[in-house]
Each structure stands twice: as structure tokens, then as C-alpha cells.
Amino acid sequence: MRRKLAAGNWKMNGRTSDLDQIDALEAAHNDADVDILICPPASLLARMSARTTKIAVGGQDCHAATTGAHTGDISADMLIDAGATHVILGHSERRTDHGETDDDARAKARAALDAGLIAVICVGETLAEREAANTLDIISGQLAGSIPDAANGTNMVVAYEPVWAIGTGLVPSTDQIGEVHDFIRTKLEARFGEGVGRSVRLLYGGSVKGSNAAEIFAVSNVDGALVGGASLTAEAFSPIITALDAS
């Protein structure tokens, strides 16, 4: 039985004044039977985690090393020190903005698992790759390259995020989402065995909103969502959590 997960990625958004969104979310969903995760910027991690018991808090990246001369970076252990339990890795914006590769994502994920974090590993094709009918090959390569051997259903979540759907308002059809999620499940079962492969939670990410959440959550092998823009306010994120809880 996979526990559903509603995860929010605040990206480079959020100030101290936005922490009251967490109070509102906690009040609205204290009895929800789903996991809720918010990944704020590093500047808010410690204060956000100190503010809530219901909502898990995560980083948006970590370094593959535990310590050292890496100006501007943050280690998995530092995220834990700030109260994080999860970390997003291999997000397409990290891949684009910072040239991160599958190897980078895998090394970071290994560090995250070693430190005791749950890694939310992102994969997804570009529009050109989809139009060239390469989606499943791309996803297959990213899964093989980005997921470390030590991963399992307890320490890893996989997020399918088509690059062309992130922040654009474009959403794949439910058939397209289902095809990729079923494919990811098959790949995980083949690599890690049926039991482990079936236990990994698979999130869909890309322009999820209150208005489309229910139909996305009805798709097979969708265990929740990774949400960017619509996670920034309790008002926008709440209907997504409610739809997940009802699914």
C-alpha cells in the first residue's frame, strides 16, 4: 500500500511572511490521510520545519559531498540539521540552469540516502523529445542513470515531470501520464524486484492545479503530485491536497 504524497516545490520563492501559509495548510489538513511535503528555499527550511508537525519539509537540492570547499552549496546532512526529511534531486530546472546530468543526480541521491533523507528524483522529457516519440527512451535512461542502487520505496520517490508541462499550464493527457507512470513502475520492478518496485511512490508534476488534480490522481500508478506554482499559497495547494485525499 503506497501512501499518497502531495509535495510542493517553492523554487526560489518565499520570504518569512510566507510562513503563515504553512499554518493555514496545517489547520486545513490536520486530519488528511496523505503525506504533505513542502520544499521551500534553504533560507526558510529551519523556520518552516520548526513551525509544523503535520507537514514534512525538504530541500530542493544537495551536494554529493558531505562537507568541504563548495561555496554556495548545501549538504544532505545540513538539510537534515535544518529539519528536512526529503530533498528534490534532478529537477529539470537544475538540469537546465546548472547543467546537472543523470550522474550528478545519482551522486547527490546517494549522498541523500546515506544521510537519511528521502530523495524525490525527477525525470521528464522535453517537448522535442516527446514530438520525436522518444519519451520512454528518455525516461528509461534518466531512471537508470539518476537512481542509485541503494534506493527503495522507503527512501525514494520518483516524480515524472514533463519539462514542457512545468510552469506552462500545459498538461499531458491522462493517457500520456498513465503510459509513462506504468512504464516507470515496470522499469522499477525490473531493476529492484516486484516488491520494491511496487512500493516506490510515483508523483506526477507539471501544471497541477486544483481544477485538474482529481483527474490526474485517478490515473493508475499516480501516487500524488509534485507541484510548483500552485503550492505557493495554502489557497491554491489546499484543493490539490483535498483531491488527493479523496482519490
Q: Is 161 a catalytic residue?
A: yes
**Given the complex with ligand PEP, which of 197 and 205 has the nearer CB atom?**
205
Taking the complex as a whole, the smallest distance from the CB of residue 13 to ligand PEP amounts, in Å, to: 10
**Given the complex with ligand PEP, which of 77 and 147 has the nearer CB atom?**
147
In the complex, which residues of this chain contact ligand PEP (CB under 6 A)? 9, 161, 166-167, 205-208, 226-230
Distance (Å, whole) CA 39 – CA 34:
16
CA distances from 116 to 78, 79, 122, 161 (A): 11, 10, 19, 24
Taking the complex as a whole, the smallest distance from the CB of residue 116 to ligand PEP amounts, in Å, to: 23
CB closest to ligand PEP, residue no: 228
Taking the complex as a whole, the smallest distance from the CB of residue 28 to ligand PEP amounts, in Å, to: 19
Catalytic residue among 63, 91, 93, 181: 91
> Do 222 and 184 contact (CB within 8 A), yes or no?
no
Main-chain phi, psi angles of 55, to 5 degrees? -100, 125
Phi-psi region of 99 (alpha: psi -120 to 50; beta: other; left: phi over 0): left
The secondary structure of residue 4, as a DSSP letter, is P
The secondary structure of residue 38, as a DSSP letter, is E
Taking the complex as a whole, the smallest distance from the CB of residue 20 to ligand PEP amounts, in Å, to: 21
**Given the complex with ligand PEP, which of 64 and 166 has the nearer CB atom?**
166
Catalytic residue among 93, 100, 129, 161: 161
**Bridge partners, 123 (sequence order):** 160
**Given the complex with ligand PEP, which of 89 and 230 has the nearer CB atom?**
230
Taking the complex as a whole, the smallest distance from the CB of residue 7 to ligand PEP amounts, in Å, to: 8
Place of cell 503563515: 20
Main-chain phi, psi angles of 60, to 5 degrees? -105, -5
**Bridge partners, 204 (sequence order):** 160, 225
> Do 199 and 153 contact (CB within 8 A), yes or no?
yes
Distance (Å, whole) CA 56 – CA 58:
7
**Given the complex with ligand PEP, which of 129 and 161 has the nearer CB atom?**
161
Residues involved in catalysis: 91, 161
